[in-house]
Structure 1
Amino acid sequence: MFRLKSVSFISILVGFVSLGIFLWLPKNLFSSKVEALVFNFGFYHLSFDPWTISTPVDQFLTPFFLWASCLVNQPEDVVSILQWVTILTGVFLVMDLSERVHWSFALGVSLLLSSSPLYLIFQTWIAFSDPITFFLVSLYLIVLLSNIRTNLKLIILSFILFLALTNHFFQVLVIIILLNFSYVIYFKDQIKYLVKVFLTALVLYSLFLLILLNTTTIVWNHTRISVFSQMWGTEFIRMNTSEPFLGTIGLFHGLWPIVIYLMIRKPILLLVFGFCYFITMLTYDTSRVFSILSTPILIFFSIEHWKVSSKIERRFWIFLTVLSPILCRMYPLFYKWDGKIIYLQ
């Protein structure tokens, strides 16, 4: 009993420390000039009425969440709400890892996330649906690794995945396929179980989409498919041959040492990240898409690596997370979009 209370106290303490890290480090590490920022004003207008013809059918949850919160009065409110979703997702994930794995590992993850290209994107691509996507994917990962009873876990995972699909369908589809594939590498007997979760969520999403399109003014939008169709031929070559050196560095920035270390320990990770990059090649938002696809995978492999590591290996992993923000300070940071390098400063 005493041990459980001690762990809970440590988890709360780690949560407060990580809150300070998430509030301070990304904001200072990824401060940007106005020209480097990308603003999405669409969700501000949809936060007053998410049931319109302008609502993107594949990104319904974010405007609905903003509308249901009743907290939006000006565009700055949308920015603030989604920033807090980002921060609290990190804190919640770190607190869970403190309980599940170890407090030092959890603090390492807080540094890893705060120095990651994903949090760079959160600081520069303002008022997009990515924070809620990351929250739901993190929740999916937490439940997936939990000891909840099998049938209850199936229901919870299916519901979380259903919500995630309503928030950013195409993006989440790829993330979950990658995450499930990574999970099966370690837990091969869970394939059928994950297929059940996946199919249940897809059925729920299909029913939801059917109801939405038949009872509201929301319509099916072909924008995502048309973007993919434009990305072949000369456009595909232009996008993916420009800035190869900086584009590669920007995939992980300060996380490269820990990524290389994990790939040496688990070479299959190279294949997983390779698939992430292949999907990224079909989009204009190179850094944004790759970061949201790859970050949950990096966290999962870090967890599994920690479980089988020696003390020295664990300390080395923590050292690499501490090294990440230091490396980010050593050169001008940037992201890649439309084949171009956009410097933060």
Structure 2
Amino acid sequence: MKALDSIREIFSKRKKLILSLLIGLVSIFFLKEASYFLYKSPPESQVINSEFYSLSKSDLSKEYDSDSFLFPYHLRIFKIDLSPEDFKRYCKFLLYIISAILIAYASYFRNIFTGIFIGFFLLLSPIYLIQNNWIGFADHLTFFWSVLLVLFLDLRDRDPGKKIYLYVLFVLLILGSWTHFYQFLIISFLVLFLHFWEKKEIDRDILKVFLLGIFAGRVSSYLLFFLHGVEWNERRLNTAQSLGFARWYSMHTKHLLLTLLSFWNGLLFLFLENLTRKKISILLVCFGALFITFFTADSTRVFSHLFYPAWLSLWLIRSQQGFSNREKRILSGGLILALTYLLIFEPFYKWGRDLFYLGPRISF
């Protein structure tokens, strides 16, 4: 009987794995079409970084930002020669493929409801709005590493005895540091903070890997530029320091409430659901992301990429014990409200002092 039960368990796991992979595969096509429908925008609302496309054709030079060179430098390393249109498609492909990986992972290690919920959660989030309209930026690859960081932290939590997860996390931290150092540093810190808070303990091994990985990523970046004889530059940091507090304050107080709304769009309902459950960790993460966002001009873009990886981590942690039927109804209702919001009101994002709308819906 034990042997028969073992065989049944193996077949059950294989069936679930195949189903999860199919859900992930189908989600690529669904997310691509759905995001085009929801976030299609006129050219004046799009921000295309043609500079990064040009850099993908050249070796390291002073034109690269030293804190974010892996995108697009990895295309040069692997000798991937893309046309401008293919480069745009590649940027979006990174978003769709990492979403599919996350959906398949959640479907297999949690349940089908969690996988589908996370898929719609991503689609309706400002991450999709931004990455479908800010094309050719390091954010595409940064979010890719951020989601993998969340997944391997979850795998480490499932099987603390396996050291391989620590090694993978170490590599991810280096790759993230090469892609967008300051942003990934904050993302990693916020994800780890939430993870430790929810688990009510600090995993010292993970903390060591975090510190060593970030340090190794930074030092290796310096060495790489030094060995290529390229001048080190940090234009983003210099820009942030050159503007005074009064300038940042005046920029963000214009359209303040709408700016905050753009950070969630329809997902504000689910954020409030988290707060009613007294999830203090996500509130603290939110305050941390808001503080950093204050010193940037790309308000919606920056907040979304800092905040949402940690929020995804919270959903995975919450789903470990499974969602009750009542929770499923509440979460499904939150997604329906989010979709209704996006269908009725005109989606927008905040950049500098202004709001940029995407389509002909009801505008504020």
Taking the aligned partners of 2:138 and 2:26, their CA distance within structure 1 comes to: 26
How many Å separate the matches in 1 of 2:230 and 2:124? Answer: 38
Contact 1:30 1:120 in 2 (8 A): yes
Task: Map 1:210-225; keep pairs closer than 5 Å.
Answer: 210-225=222-237
Alignment of 1:105-254 (within 5 A): 105-146=114-155, 147-148=158-159, 149-254=161-266
Query: Secondary structure of 2:67's partner?
Result: helix
Tell me the alpha carbon deviations over residues 241-278 of structure 1, each in whole angstroms, 9 at most, x when there is no partner: 11012112111001111111012211332221111111
Conserved? CA contact 1:117–1:251, under 8 Å: yes
1:8 to 17, 37, 48: 17
Deviation for aligned residue 1:19: 1.7
Q: CA deviation at 1:129?
A: 1.1
CA contact (8 A) 1:41 1:127 kept: yes
Counterpart contact for 1:250–1:335, Cα < 8 Å: yes
Percent identity between matched residues is 26
Choose the corresponding residue for 1:300, options 290, 298, 313: 313
Q: Structure 1: how far apart are the matches of 2:320 and 2:14?
A: 23
Q: Distance in 2 between matches of 1:115 and 1:260?
A: 16
Q: Work out which of the residue numbers 285, 293, 304 in structure 2 matches 1:272.
A: 285
What residue is the counterpart of 1:283 in the other structure?
A: 296
Partners of 1:58 and 1:317 in 2: how far apart? 38
Deviations 1:145-175 (A, max 9, x none): 0145442221110111110110000100100
Moved more, 58-67 or 307-316: 307-316
Closer/same/farther in 2, CA of residues 7 and 110 from structure 1, 3 Å limit: same
Name the amino acid aligned to 1:233.
F
Query: Residue 47 of structure 1 contacts residue 66 of structure 1 at CA under 8 Å; is this kept in 2?
Result: yes
- Counterpart of 2:362 in structure 1 is none
The higher radius of gyration belongs to: 2
What's the counterpart of residue 4 of structure 2? none
Q: Aligned residue for 1:334?
A: 348
Separation in 1, partners of 2:345, 2:163: 49
| Map of 2:267 onto structure 1 | 255
- Count matched residues: 345
Distance (Å, rounded) in 1 between the aligned partners of 2:81 and 2:338: 35
Q: Is the 8 A contact 2:67 2:234 kept in 1?
A: no
SS for the counterpart of 1:221 is coil
How far apart are the structure 1 equivalents of 2:245 and 2:305?
Answer: 26
Secondary structure of 1:57's counterpart equals coil
Point out 4+ residue stretches in structure 1 off by more than 6 angstroms: none
Cα distance between partner residues in 2 of 1:204 and 1:222: 18
- TM-score scaled by structure 2? 0.90
Query: Runs of 5+ in structure 1 lacking a partner?
Result: none
- Partners of 2:216 and 2:345 lie apart in 1 by 46
Corresponding residue for residue 32 of structure 1: 41
